[in-house]
Structure 1
Amino acid sequence: MDNQTSLTFTMTAYAVMENYKHGIFTVLLLLYLITIILNTLLIVVIHQNKKLHQPMNVFACMLSINEIYGSSALLPAVLSMLISETHEITVKWCIAQVYFIHTYGSAEFCILAVMGYDRYVAICYPLHYHSIMSNSKVCKLVAFASIYPLVLFMCFYSLTVQLSFCGKVMPKLYCVNMELVKNACTNASASYISVVGLVFILILIAPQVTMILFSYVQILRVCRTLLKKSQGNALKTCIPHVLSLINFTIGCLFEIIQTRFNMSHVAFQARIFLSLYFIIIPPITNPMLYGLGTQMVRIQILKLFIKYKILPTQLAK
């Protein structure tokens, strides 16, 4: 691929947005800034308060770090392309973008799986929670959620970087692996990598899906034996995780469907929203779910705002 690093792909989706690019630029820039502010705020608040150094909050920080990573890997590039005159991207940067986007999505799903396991231990073994979720165990789960998607994706990614490209059209707002494969010179290689891609997705998500399903089957089984009030309290602690999981899964399905199937019958504005959903909506809603949606974190956020005289003192009472 070295002799093709000067080759560029034309991002044709931006041409259709020409008349609305300033409005879209403003909205995306605002959403990006909100994403960075909310996730940074959650990380700072949890880091500065030792009483918040609980396993679930540690995983919430991991989630926020990954949200910042994913958003920063894609949205600045989209904003830059919006105001560009050529709407072109080099092969080298396109392949890098594929790596950033896919590792973001893989890591997000791994973190959500670890969070599901945490809820399982907290509800099914409340008396042994701190002994099971020890610092050592939390470190191992953090390492799994961080390293597993990176190592697994690199195995698949190594096939993509060996391709030679003859096509020059990328009909999206950003580069994804499937569109790169479609631009490959050799159909046989493209077909092979497409099949490997599907297998890779299954291998990547199978352990996480198994962990999440097992966790919630056991949670529901235990909740059936609890009093109604205890049932409600237990399930209430799962709400942020379930909403985050559903939100991110929907966003990924939107992207997979658009990449694998012809969506020309869907309005272009809708396709833009659906293609950016997984990189905008979860990064904004997750810090709200784990920040404003968690009482201890919410109190510390209010105290932080009061400390810097952003809010009146009465709100902390």
Structure 2
Amino acid sequence: MFADDIIMENSSEIVSFVLSMYGDIGHLKYLYFLLTMILYVSVILANTALIVIIYVKPNLHEPMYLFLCSLFVNDIYGSTALLPCLMVQILSETHDISLLFCFVQIFNIQTYASLEFQILAIMSYDRYVCICKPLHYNSIITTRRVQVVILVIWIVSFVEIGILLSFTIRLTFCGTVIDKVCCLNHLVLELSCSPTNILSYVNDVVFALIFGVTAPLVFISFTYVKILSVCLKASKETKTKAFDTCTPHLVSIMSFVFACFYNIISQKFDMTFIPLELRVILLTYAFLIQPMLNPIIYGLKLSKIRQAFKRF
């Protein structure tokens, strides 16, 4: 009992964690801060511009572009989950982050990742119906159904991650050092005073791997197998249409899968042979590059958006 009391007393004194991966970068911190700020502002402007264009142009009020709006909103949300904190930490001398803000960051990061995969998955179904069942597209993919699906996706992601995080918040912590540039749920669990193997397993395997990554990717793979089978028998015009509409979606999927894959392997293997600056970029790829990549590839590749942007 006495030992438990000491642990509780020590853990009660912990009011913040230390993000140790930033290290001492000297005067380069001002350059890194400026570059991060420019990128963050660019993400906000690029995604907001496309959202506004889709909103004001009546010919873009179609299901596909509603999904894109949801994707662009999520990209702004995801970059905001990390980049402002990243800029603060770059200039900070101590790299402390309060428990409250750390939990908020975990919630924002995990909901962003969950939403990105789910939106990309439902967009793959939209492409499947458009290419494989074109005559039934307007009856299957209606504006009302799209709005309901988008709302459900956002609500389910917020509730799911909120429930998961509620277990982490109740823990007491004996460690303070997080060897990353941001707070992640499994890293915070490792700092707990009590054994959290089961909780960590549920978070990493059940929620993150199965529901968060594997299920959407299996669904996306299934839809693209169907699309490919139809395209092999289709006319040249159909193949061209499928290529034009599916290319940006596939690029977005592969980019985000790469970001998640690197984060997973970096947790299991020693990546110190990679220069620190590159490791930071790869770890934050999903929040630095992905939110900028999506508006660029969709804005350049989809002719309706490209033409609307020129007139706008």
The answer to whether the superposition gives a TM-score over 0.5 is yes
Deviation at 1:20, TM superposition (A): 2.0
Among 96, 101, 125, the alignment partner of 2:109 is 101
C-alpha distance in 1, partners of 2:200/2:279? 22
C-alpha distance in 1, partners of 2:138/2:35? 43
Q: Tell me, yes or no, if the aligned pair for 2:16 and 2:96 is still in contact at 8 Å.
A: yes
Number of the residue aligned with 2:92 = 84
Matched residue type, 2:69: C
Number of the residue aligned with 2:156 = 148
C-alpha distance in 1, partners of 2:268/2:26? 26
Q: Tell me, yes or no, if the aligned pair for 2:19 and 2:177 is still in contact at 8 Å.
A: yes
C-alpha distance in 1, partners of 2:67/2:12? 41
C-alpha distance in 2, partners of 1:206/1:257? 16
Deviation at 1:11, TM superposition (A): 1.4
Number of the residue aligned with 1:281 = 289
Deviation at 1:19, TM superposition (A): 4.3
Deviation at 1:33, TM superposition (A): 0.7
Deviation at 1:5, TM superposition (A): 8.2
Q: Tell me, yes or no, if the aligned pair for 2:14 and 2:176 is still in contact at 8 Å.
A: no
Q: Tell me, yes or no, if the aligned pair for 1:4 and 1:91 is still in contact at 8 Å.
A: no
Among 163, 185, 192, the alignment partner of 1:184 is 192
Number of the residue aligned with 2:119 = 111
C-alpha distance in 2, partners of 1:143/1:259? 33
Deviation at 1:4, TM superposition (A): 4.2
Matched residue type, 2:207: F
Equivalent pairs: percent with the same residue?
Answer: 37
Q: Tell me, yes or no, if the aligned pair for 1:56 and 1:118 is still in contact at 8 Å.
A: yes
TM-score by length of 2: 0.91
SS of 2:300's partner is coil
Is 1:15 aligned with 2:41? no
Q: Tell me, yes or no, if the aligned pair for 2:118 and 2:216 is still in contact at 8 Å.
A: yes
SS of 1:13's partner is coil
After superposition, the C-alpha distances for 1:274-294 in whole angstroms (9 at most, x for unaligned) are 111110111001011222221
After superposition, the C-alpha distances for 1:246-292 in whole angstroms (9 at most, x for unaligned) are 01111111222223433223221221111111101110010112222
RMSD across aligned C-alpha pairs, in angstroms? 1.7
C-alpha distance in 2, partners of 1:266/1:179? 21
Structure 2 regions of 5+ residues with no counterpart? 1-7
Matched ranges for 1:27-176 at <5 A: 27-176=35-184
1:207 to 1:139, Cα distance in 2 relative to 1, 3 A: farther
SS of 2:180's partner is coil
Q: How many residues get paired?
A: 301
Deviation at 1:85, TM superposition (A): 2.2
Matched ranges for 1:128-277 at <5 A: 128-186=136-194, 188-189=195-196, 191-197=197-203, 198-201=205-208, 202-277=210-285
Q: Tell me, yes or no, if the aligned pair for 1:13 and 1:173 is still in contact at 8 Å.
A: yes
TM-score by length of 1: 0.90
SS of 2:233's partner is coil
C-alpha distance in 1, partners of 2:24/2:202? 33
Deviation at 1:17, TM superposition (A): 2.7
Q: Tell me, yes or no, if the aligned pair for 1:179 and 1:259 is still in contact at 8 Å.
A: no
Matched residue type, 1:200: F
C-alpha distance in 2, partners of 1:4/1:301? 54
After superposition, the C-alpha distances for 1:149-188 in whole angstroms (9 at most, x for unaligned) are 22222232222112111101111111111210111112x2
SS of 2:28's partner is helix
